[in-house]
Amino acid sequence: MSTRKLYVKSFGCQMNVYDSHRMADTLAPAGFTEIAQPAGADLIVLNTCNIREKAAEKIYSELGRLRVLKEEAQAKGRRVLIAVAGCVAQAEGEEIVRRAPAVDIVVGSQNYHQLPVLLSRAEQGEQIVDTEFPLDDRFATMPGARREATRARGISAFVTVQEGCDKFCTFCVVPYTRGVETSRPVEQIAREVERLADAGVREITLIGQNVNAYHGEGPDGREWPLGKLMYRLAEIAGIARLRYTTSHPLDLEPSLIDAHRDLPALMPYVHLPVQSGNDRILAAMNRRHTRAQYLAAIDRLRAARSDLAFTSDFIVGFPGETEAEFGDTVSLVEDVGFAAAYSFMYSPRPGTPAAEMTEQVPEDVKSERLQRLQAVINRELARYNAQFLGRTVEILLEKPGKLAGQLVGRTPYLQAVQVMAPAARIGEVVPATITEIGRYTLFGALATPETEPQQLAIAGA
C-alpha cells in the first residue's frame, strides 16, 4: 500500500486533541502517516472547536489558506483533500461547504470513525457532510479504533471515559455539539489503560466534558461513579499517576472524595470550573449551584486531602453582569486561592439561551474586566508557586526540555519543572528540589534518592 500523508490540527479541548489522535489511528490502516505541517499532506483534517466565536471563526481563515495550498497542489497534478471535523462541523454542517467550497468532507463529533469510508467516497469526487448523531450507544458499538488508543504517544495519555453533557449552561454549545451524556463501561476503560501501561504510559488523564458525571457500567452490572473507577484503575501495574478533567461542582460524589483521600496515585489536583462568584449570575447561567455550595465543595475535598490544588474557568461579562457582580468573581478567586485559572470574555453562541438575553455587556467592558480578573489570577498563581521554593516534590519526567540535557517533569499539582537529567530517565517519578520559580515553569534539581519528598502543607488561601 502506498503511504499517504496526513495532517491533523486540533483547535479545541483535551477531548478534541484525543479525537485527533484517534482519527490518525483510524486512518493508519489506510496507509496514512502523520506529518507536522499541512504542506505536502494528501489529507488535511481541521478538528474544530465551537466554544467561543473566535475559535469558530479561526477555522474559516485557516480554510482560506488551505484553499490556496490545495490549488497549488492541484496545479502540480497532486490531489489534496480537506476535512473539517469536530464541534464547528457538528454545529454548522452544510454551512461549512457553502462558505468554503474547497472542503471535501464535513464530519461531526461522533462520526469520525467513519473517516476511511468517507474518504474513499470523497476520492470519487463526492462532497460529504456527515453530522448525524448515531442512534445507537456511542461506546457500546464502537469497534475499538474509534475512541480507543491503538498506540501510546508518550508518557502521559488521555482516555475518554465520558462524553457529552446534559447540564445546558445557558452560555454553552457543548450539549448541542457533543450530544447527551454517556459513559463508557468500566472494563473497556481498564483494558485501554492496561494496553497503554504496557506501551510505557505512566500517567492517565481521564477526560469527559463532565467527567465526574461518569456512571459507566461496572463488571457487577451496576453503574459505577468516577471515584470507584479510580480505585479500579489504580490497581493497574505501571500506572503511577491518575488525573481527570473537567469536573462540575454539582457532581461531586462521595467516592471521588474518598479516592482523593485513599489513593496515592490519584493526583492532588482538581479542575473545577465555577464561571462566576455571584449567585444571580450563576443562576442565570443555569449552573445550579451557589457560591456557598461551590466553596463547600472545595472544603469537602480539602478535608479529604489538604494539599489539593484547585483550578477553574471563569466567564466575565455574562449578559447583565454588573460591576458589583463581577467583583464577587474577583473575591472568589482570592477566597479559594487557585493554583491557576482560565478566564474568558463571554462570547454569545448562536442557539444558546444567553445569546438571546437582552442586556449584553459591551465588548470594552468585558475586555477591561478580563484584564482585571487575569491580574488577580496571575497574582494568585505566583503566590501559589512561590510556596514551592526550596521544597522537594515528586515529579514525573515526561519529555526533553528546551536545553540540551534538560527534561521537563510535572509535580503532582501539574506545575512544569525543568531539571537537568538524562533522557533515559523519562517515565520515572523522582524527587526534585525546586530552586527557582519562573513565570510559566519551575526549575529544579534532582534530589538525592535518599531525600524523602516533604508532605506539603498547601492550603490555597
Shortest Cβ distance from residue 207 to ligand SAH (Å)? Answer: 10
Region 184-243 residues binding ligand F3S, contact defined as CB under 6 A: 209
Integer angstrom CA distances of residue 43 from 33, 60, 224: 10, 17, 40
157: CB partners within 8 A, 6+ apart: 149, 196, 201, 203, 204, 205
> Counting contacts by CB under 6 A, is residue 114 touching ligand SF4?
no
Based on CB atoms, which residue is closest to ligand SAH, 158 or 346? 346
- When CB distances are held under 5 to 8 angstroms depending on the partner's kind, the choice from ligand SAH, ligand F3S, ligand SF4, none that residue 168 binds is ligand SF4
**Residues 80/46, Cβ–Cβ less than 8 Å:** no
Rounded (10°) angle between helices 323-336 and 291-304: 10
Is residue 12 a contact residue for ligand F3S (CB under 6 A)? yes
CB of 392 to ligand SAH, least distance (A): 34
Interface pattern 200-239 for ligand SF4 (x via CB under 6 A): ---------xx-----------------------------
b vs e for 424-458, b when ≥16 Cβ sit within 10 Å of the residue's Cβ?
eebbbbbbbbbeebeeebbbbebbeeeeebeebeb
For helices 14-27 and 115-123, the axis angle rounded to 10 degrees is 60
> If contact means CB under 5 to 8 A according to the sort of partner, which of ligand F3S, ligand SAH, ligand SF4, none does residue 12 touch?
ligand F3S
Q: Minimum CB separation from ligand F3S for residue 127, in Å? A: 23
Region 243-302 residues binding ligand SF4, contact defined as CB under 6 A: 248
Check binding of 315 to ligand SF4 (CB under 6 A).
no
The per-residue DSSP string of 137-176 comes to: -TTTT--STTTS-SS--SSEEEEE-EE------TT--HHH
Stretch that binds ligand SF4, among 170-178, 385-393, 397-405, 426-434 (CB under 6 A): 170-178
Q: In the set 8, 16, 97, 266, which binds ligand F3S (CB under 6 A)?
A: 16
Q: Which partner in ligand SF4, ligand SAH, ligand F3S, none is near 87 (CB below 5 to 8 A by kind)?
A: ligand F3S
Q: How far is the CB of 175 from ligand SF4 (least distance, A)?
A: 5
Q: Which is nearer to ligand SAH, 131 or 347 (CB)?
A: 347
For residue 9, list its beta bridge partners.
Answer: 46
The gap from C-alpha 367 to its chain's centroid, in whole angstroms, comes to 25
241 vs 248 by CB, closer to ligand SF4: 248
> Is 168 one of the binding residues for ligand SF4 (CB under 6 A)?
yes
User: Which pairs with CB-CB distance under 8 Å and at least 24 residues apart come from 89-96?
Assistant: 89/48, 89/131, 90/50, 90/131, 90/176, 90/177, 90/178, 91/50, 91/56, 91/173, 91/176, 91/177, 91/350, 91/351, 92/50, 92/56, 93/129, 93/131, 94/129, 96/59, 96/129
Is residue 174 close enough to count as binding ligand SF4 by CB under 6 A?
Answer: yes
Q: Between 57 and 436, name the residue whose CB sits nearer to ligand F3S.
A: 57
Please tell me the count of residues contacting ligand F3S according to CB under 6 A.
14
Closest contact distance (angstroms) between CB of 163 and ligand F3S is 9
Radius of gyration of the chain from its Cα atoms, rounded to whole angstroms:
23
Give the one residue of 63, 115, 173, 196 binding ligand F3S; rule: CB under 6 A: 173
Check binding of 109 to ligand SF4 (CB under 6 A).
no
* 282 vs 426 by CB, closer to ligand SF4: 282
Give the side-chain half-sphere CA count within 13 A for 430.
Answer: 25
Residue ranges in contact with ligand SAH by CB under 6 A:
51-52, 171-172, 174, 209-210, 246, 248, 273, 275, 313, 315, 344, 346-347, 349
H/E stretch holding 315: strand 309-316
- The entry of ligand SF4, ligand F3S, ligand SAH, none near residue 249 (CB within 5 to 8 angstroms by kind) is none
Q: Does 415 bind ligand F3S (CB under 6 A)?
A: no
Name the residue number minimizing CB distance to ligand F3S. 12
Other Cβ atoms less than 10 A from the Cβ of 3: the count is 9
Indicate left, alpha or beta for 93 from its phi (over 0: left) and psi (-120 to 50: alpha).
Answer: left
Helix, strand and coil percent figures for the chain, each rounded to 5:
35, 25, 40
* Contact of residue 177 among ligand SF4, ligand F3S, ligand SAH, none (CB under 5-8 Å per partner type): ligand F3S
Q: What is the rounded CA–CA span in Å between residue 196 and residue 355?
A: 42
Instruction: Kindly state the smallest distance separating residue 332's Cβ from ligand SAH, in Å.
Output: 14
87 binds ligand F3S (CB under 6 A): yes
For residue 387, with 0-12 CB atoms within 10 Å meaning exposed, 13-18 middle and 19 or more buried, which class applies?
middle
Residues that bind ligand SF4 (CB under 6 A): 165, 167-169, 172, 174-175, 209-210, 248
